[in-house]
């Protein structure tokens, strides 16, 4: 039986990867670095801002010390906020699924996005207060595929909802790094093929894959947990 749900944010609830890429490129422009969409999807998708900037600079043989990373993150956040105010897209069905899930089980959001970005999107979705816990980029030292964010989300949910069995909690993800992170935390993983094809997500370890978040229901999430539990037996 499903005990809790932990949602990724970018690529699952909101369609904002292009906004992030535009923000990365705007911040990196003074350094003469441009990241193509193909490079972004192949190499940097799933990182938080710090991890992505560090990898981008490292790949171009540039200094990626903490001061430079902090300046780039600040510059990107300004660009992202301006773009999001004009053109942030919420995936069809995302708000309804989030609210329906929150009405049945405790919900967390575990994301490499900044907390301010998450708060803005939840407001636009009419879903403020649905998530009992938000684990944002500022709350962890290591980004996905490290399991720290999901482990922290489980810990915080457990503090308010009681002890949780990770195998009976579901993570909703769209990226390979995210699937690997959730699996490493012991979670059942349902992926949406918004960003990667279903075969790639299954190969990364997703227990179930849906074409789109609008195709998912709280009952489907519960069924995925039950099926994964039976498979372990």
Residue 67 is part of which domain span?
A: 17-87
Tell me the two tokens of residue 185: 């935390």
Confidence band for 47, pLDDT divided at 50, 70 and 90:
confident
Dihedral angle, C-alpha 111, 114, 118, 119, nearest 10 ° = 140
pLDDT for 229: 79
Report whether pLDDT(73) > 80: yes
Q: How much is the pLDDT for 159?
A: 95
pLDDT of residue 170 exceeding 60: yes
**Mean pLDDT, residues 74-86 taken together:** 90
84: confidence class by pLDDT, cuts 50, 70, 90: confident
**Is the confidence at residue 138, as pLDDT, over 80?**
yes
Residue entry with tokens 């929150």: 102
Cβ contacts of residue 65 below 8 Å, gap of 6+? Answer: none
The pLDDT value recorded for residue 233 is: 56
Structural domain count of the chain: 2
Least confident of 3-7, 42-46, 52-56: 42-46
Same domain membership, residue 29 and residue 11: no
Residue range 68-86: mean pLDDT, rounded? 92
Report, as an integer, the average pLDDT of 7-19: 94
Residue 111 vs residue 117, higher pLDDT: 111
Pair (50, 109) in one structural domain: no
Greatest CA separation for the chain: 55
Instruction: Specify whether 83 is located in the same domain as 185.
Output: no
> Is the domain of 123 the same as that of 226?
yes
Q: What is the mean pLDDT of the chain?
A: 94
Non-local (6+) Cβ contacts of 106 within 8 A are 3, 4, 5, 132, 133, 157, 160, 161
Averaged over 178-185, what is the pLDDT? 98
- 85 vs 9 pLDDT, higher one: 9
Q: Residue 46 pLDDT > 70, yes or no? A: yes
For 14, 23, 49, 68, 232, the CA distances from 61, given in Å and listed in that order, are 32, 20, 18, 14, 45
Judged on CB neighbours under 10 Å (0-12, 13-18, 19+), 81 is middle
Confidence of residue 161 (pLDDT cuts 50, 70, 90): confident
Q: Which of 188, 135, 196, 195 is nearest to 165 (CA)?
A: 188
Residue whose C-alpha is closest to residue 112's, from 37, 54, 34: 54
The reply to whether 69 and 101 lie within a common domain is no
H-only helix segments in the chain: 17-28, 37-39, 49-59, 66-87, 94-104, 115-125, 148-161, 176-184, 198-204, 218-232
Does the pLDDT of residue 230 top 80, yes or no? no
- Among residues 55, 87, 119, the one where a domain terminates is 87
Q: How confident is the model at residue 160 (pLDDT cuts 50, 70, 90)?
A: confident
For residue 55, give the CATH number of its domain: 1.10.150.240
Same structural domain for residues 74 and 184? no
If asked whether residues 140 and 102 sit together in one domain, one would say yes
Q: Are 102 and 138 within one domain?
A: yes
CA angle 217, 221, 224 (to 5 degrees): 135
Write the pLDDT tens digit of every residue in 189-215.
999 999 899 999 999 999 999 999 999
């Amino acid at each position: 039986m499903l005990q809790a749900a932990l949602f990724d944010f970018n690529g699952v609830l909101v369609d904002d990867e292009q906004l992030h890429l535009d923000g990365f490129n705007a911040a990196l422009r003074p350094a003469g670095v441009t990241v193509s969409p193909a490079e972004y999807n192949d190499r940097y998708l799933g990182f938080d801002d710090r991890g992505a900037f560090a990898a981008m600079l490292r790949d171009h043989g540039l200094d990626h010390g903490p001061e430079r990373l902090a300046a780039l993150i600040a510059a990107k956040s300004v660009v992202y906020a301006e773009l999001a105010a004009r053109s942030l897209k919420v995936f069809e069905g995302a708000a309804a699924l989030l609210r329906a899930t929150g009405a049945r089980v405790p919900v967390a959001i575990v994301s490499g996005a900044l907390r301010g970005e998450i708060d803005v999107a939840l407001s636009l979705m009419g879903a403020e207060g649905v998530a009992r816990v938000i684990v944002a980029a500022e709350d962890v030292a290591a980004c996905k595929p490290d399991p720290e964010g999901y482990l922290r989300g489980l810990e915080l949910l457990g503090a308010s909802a009681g002890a949780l069995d990770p195998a009976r909690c579901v993570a909703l993800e769209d990226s390979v790094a995210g699937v690997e992170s959730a699996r490493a935390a012991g979670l059942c993983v349902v992926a949406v093929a918004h960003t990667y094809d279903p075969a790639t997500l299954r190969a990364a370890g997703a227990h179930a894959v849906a074409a789109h978040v609008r195709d998912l229901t709280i009952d489907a999430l519960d069924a995925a947990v039950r099926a994964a539990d039976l498979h372990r037996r």
